[in-house]
Amino acid sequence: MSPIGRALHDRFEEVCRTELQRLRRKTASLNPSDREEVDAISVAVTQAIAARFEAALAGPGGANLSEIVARLFAVAPDESIREPLGVN
C-alpha cells in the first residue's frame, strides 16, 4: 500500500470511529454484541471506501490525484504533518 493510501485508510478509520463514538447514544438500545457488530460493519465499509481511493491512486493517472486527495482529506504520507480532525 502506498504511503498516501495508508494515510487515507488511517484517516477514514479515525473519522469512522470518532463518529461512532459521537453517535453512541443512538445505539444505546443495542446490546453490546449488536453494538460491536454495527461498529465492525461501519469500519469495514469505511475501509472499503478507502480501498477504492487507494486503487484509483495506484491506477493510471493516480499520481496526478495524490495531491488533490491528500488536500481534500487532510492527509499526508508522513503522519507527522497531517492536520488534526476539524482543522480547515
Cβ contacts of residue 54 below 8 Å, gap of 6+? 1, 2, 5, 8, 9
Across the range 30-44, mean pLDDT stands at: 95
In a domain, 87, yes or no: no
**What is residue 85's predicted lDDT score, i.e. its pLDDT?**
52
In a domain, 86, yes or no: no
Over 50: is that where the pLDDT of 88 sits?
Answer: no
What is the total count of domains within the chain? Answer: 1
Give residue-wise pLDDT tens across range 44-73. 999 999 999 889 888 898 888 888 888 888
Distance of alpha carbon 70 from alpha carbon 58, whole angstroms = 14
Over 60: is that where the pLDDT of 82 sits?
Answer: no
Domain span holding position 67:
3-81
pTM (global) more than 0.85: no
From residue 49, how far is each of 6, 10, 44, 55 by CA, in Å?
Answer: 13, 12, 9, 10
